[in-house]
Chains A and B, each alone.
Chain A
């Protein structure tokens, strides 16, 4: 078992904190920066729970960025402290409080998920500690007027717009059947895709499935009667797989599209055989283990693979960019939370995943959506949604 009891984790965190403090030589939270030789940055997410598979790459990529920086022997080194929230909001809040009070972090990468972000946001806001999440995509997070909260991933509205546009320009579909799973994630996303597909001149029809049910035949019958060129599904891969299977078995051959909730090999597995082959999955994240998206991406993919003996995975590039923001801040001479926060407001550089520049509400500016194509049980990058062709 990898699970560490909470008390042990607390002890470990305290130990790390005392080390960090002794390295600082005391009095770091009000210092002007001149006498500081090391600052602490936290990374928070589910490292040992059910979703660890998609969160560990975040921690790894952040570690990679910090290690690369520390290897250059800078004046002020950065220490990365992991906080394992197991995606539980209440655990995330108490970890965040400890991180602020005892570990004196000056910035936080994460929290990884939207639920924990919603709870940790006010805590960081009160303590005036800047945070940058690599993976929390819920659109409403940016509506809290938090000054210290940022994310380097575009939200679900941007994602939906990108995919909706791709359906009409890339796939060139004229008739689009939009299905959602009635969830707080899937329903608004499907609505955004539908609106943008209609803006692109497509006619649409909608239906919903029940994620608890197994029989989607009424949805299949409707799709069959509508005879669409493309089908978009807003929901998670477990239902997405079943839906593709029943659509194909029912004789519906339209191109199947979905979004980041379905960006998982489980989609093709659930669909069975060749059913999911060629399906197109959009995501505001860049997963590019082959490094085909550009030089920065290639360099990152190779370094990541060399360090962790695994290809880059979901949210790794974004986490690397989030860590780079903090590194650049420290390089500029900022060693307090307030100075780093000021730097983040002015940051503007080309990261691995995208141009990193923040808007006043903490959202990353612009924001690209990438398309992945189901090939066997893997999901290689097809390209940017603006230019990709299926």
Chain B
């Protein structure tokens, strides 16, 4: 068992980081919305799902196949733009339809949470029963089956002993890190970013200071959604397959990553995602893949016992750690 761990340490590390990168990007959406509205947006996993379908549509539209090398980076950029736009727009629409009316009426957070679960189920079934059959020209009763779009030519970029890095895994990792750094800078340096931080810290005071809270909420959903769309594009490059249920498990894991890193904290999402990805892979090597989720959640509980606010602590406004 421990011997397995030694021989599979480096492959597991590479896979853990590349899996964790997708968790991290998805975790951003949960963390930002929570930071601003104290709402767990359970429909975020479906925002991700929409991004995967947008990416798949682009792959089909251009008929990409056997893409490798630097061309792959370009293709992923195109997919990321498509996924980011589709997911960002969907997230804004979701906020407008499912959350804003409740907020206006001063409904409890619990009501918004129920609305989120409802929106999640609605979007899943909408895709399975209506949109997938219509959009991808599959028979009506086959909308629940996975759809593939194979277009990536996989190759090893470099190898140092067991530490073999494949092109798609490298792009996922770098793509996620670049997006996180860009977002971090955006929130810390721009006026809109300051508005987001102010609203997260104290919504009432920030309104008194002239912050347009609806605009801030819309921006938060747009950015979180766009990040999910980029995650979806990277996911499609890595796995080349999607279905209406694709966001479910990933969404739970990303939410876990957000809590692990400290929900409401942007850098916490990155740390939480990477740590969770690594724990899952190391846990699988040591105990068998069937224990992957058990290990992940055990570590989560242990971390929260000693640091109830997560690894980096809660709060968006103090994103400078």
- Residues of A whose CB lies within 8 Å of any CB of B are 49-50, 182, 206-210, 212-219, 221-222, 224-225, 238, 241-242, 245, 249, 266, 269-270, 272-273
Contacts and interface: CB of A to CB of B under 8 A. Distances in A.
Contacts of B15: 215, 217-218, 221
B21 to A, nearest CB: 12
Given A238-B145, A242-B239, 19 more contacts: A207-B289, A208-B289, A210-B289, A210-B290, A212-B249, A214-B239, A214-B241, A214-B246, A217-B15, A217-B19, A218-B12, A218-B285, A218-B292, A219-B284, A221-B11, A222-B4, A222-B289, A242-B241, A272-B148
Contacts of B7: 225
Interface of B: 4, 7-8, 11-12, 15, 19, 141, 144-146, 148, 150, 154, 166, 235, 238-241, 245-246, 248-250, 280-281, 284-285, 288-290, 292-293
Nearest to B252: A212
B285 A212 contact: no
A218 B166 CA distance: 15
A212 B289 contact: no
Contact of A219 (B4, B245, B289): B289
Contacts of B281: 217-218
A249 B68 CA distance: 13
A212 B248 contact: yes
Nearest to B164: A251
20 contacts: A182-B290, A206-B288, A208-B289, A208-B290, A213-B249, A214-B246, A214-B250, A215-B19, A217-B15, A218-B12, A218-B281, A218-B285, A219-B284, A219-B289, A222-B8, A225-B4, A225-B7, A238-B145, A269-B148, A270-B148
A217 to B, nearest CB: 4
A56 to B, nearest CB: 13
A218 B289 contact: yes
A245 B146 CA distance: 14
Contacts of B144: 50
Given A50-B141, A221-B285, A269-B148, A215 B245 contact: no
A165 B141 CA distance: 37
A218 B4 CA distance: 11
B245 A212 contact: yes
A320 to B, nearest CB: 26
B146 A238 contact: yes
A249 B154 contact: yes
Contacts of B288: 206-208
Question: Which 5 residue pairs are nearest across A and B when measured between Cβ atoms?
Answer: A218-B284, A217-B15, A272-B150, A208-B290, A221-B11
Contacts of B4: 222, 225
Nearest to A50: B141
B204 to A, nearest CB: 41
B65 to A, nearest CB: 9
A204 B150 CA distance: 32
Contact of A224 (B11, B166, B289, B290): B11
Nearest to B142: A50
Contacts of A206: 288
Contacts of B154: 249
Contacts of A225: 4, 7-8
B239 A215 contact: yes
B45 to A, nearest CB: 12
A269 B284 CA distance: 28
A222 B246 CA distance: 25
A216 B4 CA distance: 17
Contacts of A273: 150
Nearest to A217: B15
B241 A221 contact: no
A224 B285 CA distance: 12
Given A215-B15, A221-B15, A238-B145, A270 B241 contact: yes
A238 B241 CA distance: 10
Contacts of A238: 145-146
B318 to A, nearest CB: 33
Contacts of B145: 238, 266
Contact of B289 (A209, A242, A245, A272): A209
Contacts of A182: 290
Contacts of B292: 210, 213, 218
A213 B293 CA distance: 10
A172 to B, nearest CB: 27
A256 B255 CA distance: 35
Contacts of A213: 249, 292
B162 to A, nearest CB: 10
Nearest to B285: A218
Indicate the member of A210, A222, A241 with the most B CB atoms within 10 Å: A222
A50 B240 CA distance: 25
A221 B12 contact: yes
A272 B19 contact: no
A269 B154 CA distance: 18
Contacts of A224: 11
A241 B166 CA distance: 21
B34 to A, nearest CB: 24
A139 to B, nearest CB: 22
Nearest to B149: A272
Indicate the member of A207, A218, A222 with the most B CB atoms within 10 Å: A218
Contacts of B248: 212
A300 to B, nearest CB: 28
Nearest to B288: A207
A157 B73 CA distance: 48
Contacts of A270: 146, 148, 241
A272 B240 contact: yes
Contact of B285 (A49, A216, A222, A241): A222
Contacts of B166: 249
A210 B283 CA distance: 14
Nearest to B293: A210
A89 B240 CA distance: 36
A218 B281 CA distance: 6
B1 to A, nearest CB: 12
